[in-house]
Amino acid sequence: MAAKKKSAKLFRCPNCAMLVRAEDEDFPFCSDRCRKIDLGKWATGVYKISSPILDPEVLEDLGGSGSNRGGESDGH
């Protein structure tokens, strides 16, 4: 039987799509430049992680936190 060669798994840089190996210093990016561009996109709000809030307790807490705004009186 012939010995199988282990090939390096290749990925694409999420910024410029250049081929990158998992062993590369800047993985998953191809360079420090692409890493900084990606960081800048997160910092300026281009990328966002959002999902609906499904936990009823969290929804209740959010709904009650601002209930006394806008000049409403609580009777005191």
Q: Tell me the per-residue pLDDT of 43-62, one tens digit each, with 9 for 90 and over.
A: 998 988 877 767 788 778 77
Smallest CA-to-CA distance from 21 within 71, 30, 31, 48 is with: 30
pLDDT attached to residue 64: 59
Rounded percentage of the chain residues whose pLDDT exceeds 90? 46
Three-state secondary-structure class, residue 34: helix
Q: How high is the pLDDT of residue 66?
A: 45
pLDDT of 65 > 90? The answer is no
Q: Give the CA radius of gyration of the chain.
A: 24
Q: What angle do CA 17, 21, 22 make, to 5 degrees?
A: 115
Highest mean pLDDT of the ranges 7-21, 39-53, 55-69: 7-21
Q: Does residue 28 have a cis peptide bond before it, meaning omega lies within 30 degrees of 0? A: yes
Report H helices in the chain: 32-43, 56-65
Q: How confident is the model at residue 40 (pLDDT cuts 50, 70, 90)?
A: very high
